[in-house]
Amino acid sequence: MNEADYIIIGAGPAGAALAARLAASPLSPRIILVEAGGGRPSLLSQVPAGIALRVPFRNGENYALQTVPQPGLQGRRGYVPRGRGLGGSSLINAMIYVRGQPEDYDHWASLGCAGWCFADVLPLFKRAEANLRGADAWHGAEGPLVVSDLASPSPVSQDFIQAALACGLDENPDFNGPQQEGIGLYQVFQKKGRRLNAARAYLGNPPYPAHLEVLTKTRALRIVITEGRATGVVVHGPGGERRLEARREVILCGGAIASPQLLMLSGIGPAAHLVRHGIPVIRDVPTVGENLQDHLDYTLNVALRGRGLLGYTPTVLGEILSGALPYLRRGTGILSSNVAEAGGFIRSRPDINRPDLQLHFCTGLVDDHGRRFHAATGAALHVCVLRPQSRGTVRLASADPHRAPEIDPRFLSEPADLDLLAAGARIVHRIFAAEPLARHRGRVLYPVDVHDEAALRAMIRARADTIYHPVGTCRMGADPASVVDPSLRVRGIAGLRVADASIMPTLISGNTQAPTAMIGEKAADLILEGQP
């Protein structure tokens, strides 16, 4: 179809949730879901451990973008993997199920985002969730997003947990329960040991309902604005360029990088910037592409041996080959690992009231996002600042919609972020020095004296980078400078909304897939509640 009630741009966690909920409405609206990537996930995407080969490189499921040079990172370019295809970044991420802290959403409400406090969004999280532990006050068991415990966590992940406890940290079996603080194994978006990407979870397999058309390998070029209203989208797909008409609304679900890019390509953004690229200004919105936030991450890589560790060695290859058949039959073994098996949420100092750092313990060396090879097994312990103060931008590199935008997170532009990351790095080193991790006698790839403050900070600037949680570039708010209002409507343009991680006023305290799906759920409710 070339005409629909709703056109949704982007089939990641938010877009898939929104399309599925609208399609299931008794109103049976006609929906077109537009996705620039392909429709069938690769085998490497479906096998959880395949993340080790999908995240580091540009491929059919990863745009593998870069930031502009970062002064705070010694002029290095940061790496920005972004998913492409039905499922978006849920095709390539670590599948970790984390919602954030209740205070994150209560803070949104305090900024004027009515309807977004934790009490408002918890029912949406529960509605989306099918936790195999069962339903309770904090969890749902009937939703599309299957949440599982890891089938075969590495014994070394258990050693990490015990080492963290030896350092005085507490164990927490549920980061989405009564409290987030503590150390433990992550729950994951997996079903029977296999990745469950968001599109597969929400939309199932084709054929889709007749009133839902899914266009893959189709890129949105610009939104059509007629007399102040979004009336359609110009797209380019296998059949060439064409225009799709929207009778009711166009909803952008492209994420924190693609959604502001498409708004600017359509003439909605900072006027001087658009004019510079020869784009006619439909509406001057200086905040489009502003407010970029991301979790900056420092990683301690240690070469060591142990069961269930990944690496480019003959032993691991043999373990993978011997475990292939059991994995296919039961979904167990090393191939079911999400790599980032364990971690937790900790306070940098005891006098603050909630965690401000997150740990990810990976069962393999993650040197430069896994792009630097080592002929060894090992483990990587990551720490990131949960609520960074640094703010960046997404700006057009050109008026060509096929060209990636300029991404500038301005990492460490606020000194407080470096202070906090240095505190986290010292904790990470202390955990690796504690038993039972210490008995593995690992070799630190990039040693540093954590008691030498200048050396530690130089190491952070030389090694730190994103852990892949960009948000905020189409900020939601009650103030007239915000890009969208609390109903996710783009200010000044009728029939146009944004529903993805870009609307977050501030970054949530954790991994972003579950909150992004929640935003899609919320958008569906907002849209359907407004229909006659």
Residue type at 407 in one-letter notation? I
Q: Kindly report the CA angle at 189 between 116 and 146, in degrees rounded to 5?
A: 80
Q: Which amino acid is at 120?
A: D
Contact, 499 vs 251, CB < 8 A? yes
Give CA–CA dist 224/99, Å, rounded. Answer: 35
Containing 359, the helix (H) or strand (E) segment is strand 357-362
Identity (one letter) of the amino acid at 420?
A: L
Helix, strand, coil shares of the chain as percentages rounded to 5? Answer: 30, 25, 45
Contacts of 8 (CB under 8 A, 6+ apart): 15, 18, 19, 22, 31, 32, 33, 34, 251, 253
3-class SS of residue 5: strand
Q: Are 370 and 280 in contact (CB under 8 A)?
A: no
d(CA 361, CA 344): 9
132 token code pair = 């195999």
CB atoms within 10 A of CB 21: 21
Strands 3-9 and 31-34: parallel
Contact 465, 297 (CB under 8 A): yes
Residue 244 tokens read as: 């799709």
CA distances from 310 to 151, 300, 474 (A): 16, 16, 38
User: Which runs of E-coded beta strand occur in 180-239?
Assistant: 182-185, 190-191, 194-195, 212-215, 219-226, 229-237
Distance CA 82, CA 66 (A): 10
Q: CA-CA-CA-CA torsion for 101, 102, 108, 113, nearest 10 degrees?
A: 140
Burial of 347 (0-12, 13-18, 19+ CB in 10 A): middle
Q: Which residues are catalytic?
A: 469
Taking CA 73 as the corner, what is the angle to CA 408 and CA 420, rounded to the nearest 5 degrees? 100
Q: Which amino acid is at 28?
A: S
Q: Which of 173, 178, 258 is nearest to 219 (CA)?
A: 258
Q: Which of 235, 368, 381, 366 is nearest to 312 (CA)?
A: 366
